[in-house]
């Protein structure tokens, strides 16, 4: 874990980085929240409902042999081989887009009506509707072959889906599972594409039952793997962070944050980071992609209608490592 505090002319920039193999975003958020309480009030005045981190490891049952043996040498050999044959991109610039509560509700209604032939079913969540709009616009502005397949990668929260044994709410670790939706370009950018994609995402999330999560966990223990996605820049994108944890609510005693930004690791591939917005009910999206795509998104009518004006200008790659260092 590394922390850097930079004193500015008119404020403080607080940067915190942690190896993502240790915590997911909720664990990280809980840690910063407790830290902020101690900073404001001292260690003897932590709120009774605060979630002090639990470092006890969770396993689906007691039959898993521990410690878990991970063949790092074999995994790294495969990873290096894939990396040699993949595109090695430079850090990508980023642009921040804001979605206001009113626009989010409007977009959610539109996407729900698309996926049910004009009947609003409310299956699609606000977040799924936004991700569908962003991904559709990203693919639409690349002039790809309509028959090509594109893949969106996202995370499914497993913590609330497990009951035997339950995962404590203050569990400090990784509980999310990787999920993907792959579609042909024509199906995504054509009429009803947003609703089609959002419904696929919704169905994928629903498919992660307790039984499936435990089965995937055990398979991962038996055959550990490492993913490499760099060879398909532009045709694949992933989502990180979560609007369910509000970094704007963290107050170290200096006042609430005025901005939340991702770190330089997010600029190594095309990536979308989504967080709760500074206004209640709003969302903020930080998108890493090529300069050409970020400029195109800012001009596209369908996308502009959903985004709150004015959106911030994109951050050049050479500034990303300096200006947007980490989470807060």
Predicted pLDDT of residue 47: 72
pLDDT at 7: 92
Q: Among all residues, which ones are annotated catalytic?
A: 20, 251
Interatomic CA distance for residues 21 and 37, integer angstroms? 25
- 318 part of a folded domain: yes
d(CA 215, CA 129): 29
Q: Write the CA distances from 116 to 108, 149, 201, integer angstroms.
A: 13, 24, 15
pLDDT 10s digits, 263-291: 877 777 888 999 999 888 999 999 999 88
3-state secondary structure of 68: coil
Looking only at the bridges linking them, the beta strands covering 236-240 and 271-276 are parallel
Q: Is residue 108 part of a domain?
A: yes
Q: Give domain status of residue 328, yes or no.
A: no
139 in Cβ contact with 188 (< 8 Å):
yes
Q: What is the pLDDT of residue 64?
A: 80
**pLDDT at site 213:** 92
Comparing CA positions, the residue from 54, 237, 45 lying closest to residue 134 is 237
From residue 170, how far is each of 50, 132, 176, 213 by CA, in Å?
9, 31, 14, 19
Residue 126 lies in a domain: yes
Rounded Cα gap, residues 102 and 272, in angstroms: 22
pLDDT at 205 (0 to 100): 94
Strand 149-157 and strand 176-184: the pairing is antiparallel
Domains in the chain, number: 1
Q: Distance (Å, rounded) from C-alpha 300 to C-alpha 136?
A: 11
Residue from 322, 324, 316, 306 nearest 100 by CA: 306
Q: Which residues of the chain carry a pLDDT beneath 50? A: 119, 312-314, 319-328
Domain span at 141: 2-323
Mind listing the pLDDT tens digit for each residue in 129-183?
999 999 999 999 998 999 999 999 999 989 889 998 899 888 998 889 889 999 9
**Do 250 and 36 form a contact (C-beta atoms < 8 A)?**
yes
245 falls within a domain: yes
Residue 226 covered by a domain: yes
Residue burial 65-81, b: 16+ Cβ < 10 Å; e: rest = eeeeeeeeeeeeeeeee
In a domain, 137, yes or no: yes
Cite the DSSP H helix spans in the chain. Answer: 25-41, 72-84, 101-115, 126-140, 185-189, 193-206, 210-222, 291-297, 301-306, 317-323
Instruction: Determine, yes or no, domain membership for 263.
Output: yes
pLDDT of 18 reads: 85
CATH no. for residue 105?
3.30.559.10
* Kind of pairing between the strands at 271-276 and 283-288: antiparallel
């Amino acid at each position: 874990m590394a922390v850097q505090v930079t004193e500015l002319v008119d404020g403080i920039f607080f940067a915190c980085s942690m190896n993502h193999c240790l915590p997911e975003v909720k664990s990280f958020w809980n840690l910063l929240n407790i830290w902020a309480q101690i900073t404001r009030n001292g260690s003897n005045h932590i709120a009774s409902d605060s979630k002090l981190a639990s470092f006890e490891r969770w396993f689906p049952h007691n039959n898993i042999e521990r410690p878990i043996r991970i063949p790092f040498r074999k995994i790294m050999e495969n990873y290096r081989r894939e990396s040699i044959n993949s595109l090695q991109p430079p850090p990508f610039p980023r642009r921040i887009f804001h979605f206001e509560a009113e626009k989010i509700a409007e977009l959610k209604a539109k996407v729900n009506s698309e996926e049910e032939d004009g009947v609003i079913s409310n299956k699609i969540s606000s977040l799924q509707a936004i991700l569908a709009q962003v991904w559709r616009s990203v693919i639409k502005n690349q002039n790809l072959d309509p028959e090509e397949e594109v893949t969106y990668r996202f995370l499914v929260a497993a913590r609330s889906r497990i009951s035997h044994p339950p995962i404590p709410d203050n569990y400090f670790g990784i509980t999310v599972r990787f999920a993907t939706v792959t579609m042909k370009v024509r199906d995504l950018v054509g009429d009803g594409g947003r609703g089609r994609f959002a419904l696929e995402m919704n169905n994928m999330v629903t498919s992660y039952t307790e039984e499936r999560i435990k089965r995937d966990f055990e398979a991962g223990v038996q055959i550990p793997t490492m993913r490499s996605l760099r060879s398909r820049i532009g045709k694949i994108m992933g989502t990180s962070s979560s609007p369910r944890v509000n970094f704007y609510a963290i107050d170290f005693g200096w006042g609430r944050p005025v901005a939340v930004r991702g770190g330089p690791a997010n600029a190594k591939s095309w990536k979308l980071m989504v967080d709760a917005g500074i206004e209640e009910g709003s969302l903020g999206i930080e998108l890493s992609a090529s300069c050409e795509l970020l400029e195109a998104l800012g001009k596209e009518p369908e996308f502009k209608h959903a985004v709150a004006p004015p959106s911030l200008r994109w951050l050049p790659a050479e500034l990303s490592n300096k200006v947007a260092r980490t989470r807060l």
